[in-house]
Chains A and B, each alone.
Chain A
C-alpha cells in the first residue's frame, strides 16, 4: 500500500526566506517615507508668517493700552499691558514705521523676561517659539536685541524704520535768546533766574507739516517725549572771566533752586497769556547732569546749593511732562503753560544767566523755532524679527 504524503500544513523554507526578505525591505522603505515629505512640511511657512506678524505689530502699532501708553505704566501694572507696539502715535494718528524712542527703550528694558513676556505680548502663539528681535539705528554699531542666538534656518522679517529722537536745546553765550547787553554793568546781579517756557497747546497743535506727530515736540500723553535743556560755558560768560595767570579765580556758580510752575493760558483779546491767577507750583521729577557727568544728580529744594563749574543739563522725562500737562487743553479753551525756573547764585554779578529779558513772559521759549531748539530728528533704522 502506498503511503500518501501530505505537506499542505507546512510552509516551505523557500517561502519563509522569500517572505522575510520582502518584509525586511518593506519595513526599511516604510521608515524612509516620512523623510520623503521633509521638504513639504509647513513649519517654515508658519515661522515666516509669525515673524511677519510680529514685525507688523511692533512697527505699525502703538501697543495696547495706547492712552496712557503701555510704556508709561509702572511695573506693578504690567498685567495691563496687552500688546507691545513701538509705532509713534498721538492718540488719533499712528505713523507706521516711525518708532518712539521711549517705547523702544521700554521694549528692550530688562524688566521683561525672555521668552514669556514677549511671547504673550508680541508673538501671540500657543506654540513655544524661539525668536530674536533686533534693532539698529544708522550711525550706531550697537544692535539692541532680545532673544536667542540665531540657528541656521528661521522665519524672518526685516522692516526699514525711522526712530524719532527727542528734541533738546543747547544754550551758550552765542545763543540769541540772551539779552544782548548781558555783559554790561546794567545786568550786574548775583541772583539769576533762568526760565524755560513750555506752551503745551502751541507744541501739540502747531507742529510742522500739518502737525504730523513724527515732527512734534508733544508733551501731552500718549506721545510721551521728554525734553533736555543744556546750559553750557557758564564759566566763560561771566563778567569776571577765569584767568589763572593773573590769579583771578573761576566764578562760583551755585544752583540753588528749581521751581516748576503751571498756569492756564487765557485769551486776552490779542493772544494767549498766562491767566491772572499766575503760575501754581507743581511737583515732579527731573534729572540734572552737572559738568558732563554721566550720572544723574537728584536735586531737591532742600539740597544744599549745587556748585557748577561749566555746564548743567536738565532732563525732564516724558512721563513727568505728561503729568505736569495732564490737564492738557481744558474744556473752557484754556491751555496749559509751564515755567521751569532754575535759580543760580553767582559770586560775581553779571547778566548772562538772566533770561528774564527774553520774550515771551521773560522766559526761554521751548518751541518749534530751530534757532531755539534742536528739533526732533528721524533717524534711519532697521528691525529684524527671526522666529524658529
Chain B
C-alpha cells in the first residue's frame, strides 16, 4: 500500500537543511565588516612614517653649516619654511633660487615612500605652515607643498612638527626674533 502519510518527517528534514544551508550561504557572502580595530593600524603606520619624516627633515645633516643663507646650521625643514614666499608681501622671497615647495616635495616624498627593498610606497600629502599673526592676533596658514589636493573622500592622518623660523612670518612686529611655526601635513594612501 502506498500512502504519503509516512513522508512528513523527511520533508521537514529536507526543509530544515535547506534553510540552514541558505542561511550559511547568506552569512558567508555578506560584506566583511571593516572594524575600527583594523583601520587604526594603517592610520597608526601612516602617522608613524609622517612623524618620523618631519622629525628627520627638521634635523641638521651634519655638524657643519646648513644651507640657509641667513642662519648657519639650520635643518632642511627650517630652510624650507624660512624661504617660503609670503603672499601678503610681508617679506620678500629668498634671494637665492631655492624653491621651498619643490624641495619639500622631493625630500618629504623620498622619506615617506622609501622602503628597504627596491619597491617604493606611493603616499599623498598636503603640507601647510601655521603661524600666529601677532599684529592681528589671528592664526594664519600658508600652503607649503602638496603632491595631490584633498577632494574630501580621502581618509588622511595629520602629522605635525614645530619648527623655529628665523625669517619673520606675516604680522611679526619685530624682524629679529626667531619664531615657532607649526608645519602640518595631511597624509593619506589611495
Contacts and interface: CB of A to CB of B under 8 A. Distances in A.
A31 to B, nearest CB: 10
B62 A44 contact: no
Interface stretch (A18-26, A123-131, A291-299): A18-26
A378 B59 contact: yes
B9 A14 contact: yes
B43 to A, nearest CB: 11
Interface stretch (A168-176, A188-196, A208-216, A241-249): A208-216
A283 B100 CA distance: 52
Contact of B112 (A52, A160, A161): A160
Chain A, interface residues (CB within 8 Å), range: 35 or more
B111 A160 contact: yes
Interface string B94-128: 00000000000000001110111110000000000
A40 B35 CA distance: 9
Interface in A278-316: none
B7 to A, nearest CB: 6
A20 B13 contact: yes
A87 interface: no
Nearest to B9: A18
A12 interface: yes
B138 to A, nearest CB: 33
A13 to B, nearest CB: 7
Given A20-B13, A29-B20, A32-B28, A158 B115 contact: yes
Interface in B43-57: 44-45, 48-49, 52-53, 55-56
Interface residues of B, number: 46
Interface in A333-388: 368, 370, 375-378, 380, 382-384
B52 A25 contact: no
Nearest to B18: A25
Nearest to A368: B63
B116 A383 contact: yes
B64 A375 contact: yes
B151 to A, nearest CB: 26
B62 A378 contact: yes
A18 B12 contact: yes
A273 interface: no
B149 to A, nearest CB: 24
B18 to A, nearest CB: 8
A232 to B, nearest CB: 21
B32 interface: yes
A29 B116 contact: no
Interface of B: 6-14, 16-17, 20-21, 23-24, 27-28, 32-33, 35, 37-38, 41, 44-45, 48-49, 52-53, 55-56, 59-64, 73, 110-112, 114-118
28 contacts: A14-B8, A15-B9, A17-B9, A18-B13, A21-B16, A21-B17, A22-B12, A22-B13, A26-B17, A29-B20, A32-B28, A48-B44, A52-B44, A52-B48, A136-B114, A143-B116, A145-B116, A159-B48, A159-B52, A160-B49, A160-B56, A160-B111, A162-B59, A207-B63, A209-B63, A375-B63, A380-B110, A380-B111
Interface of A: 12-15, 17-22, 24-26, 28-29, 32, 35-36, 39-40, 42, 44-45, 48, 52, 55, 96-98, 134-136, 138, 141, 143, 145, 156-162, 207-209, 214-215, 368, 370, 375-378, 380, 382-384
Given A18-B11, A98-B59, 6 more contacts: A12-B9, A32-B24, A32-B28, A97-B55, A136-B116, A370-B63
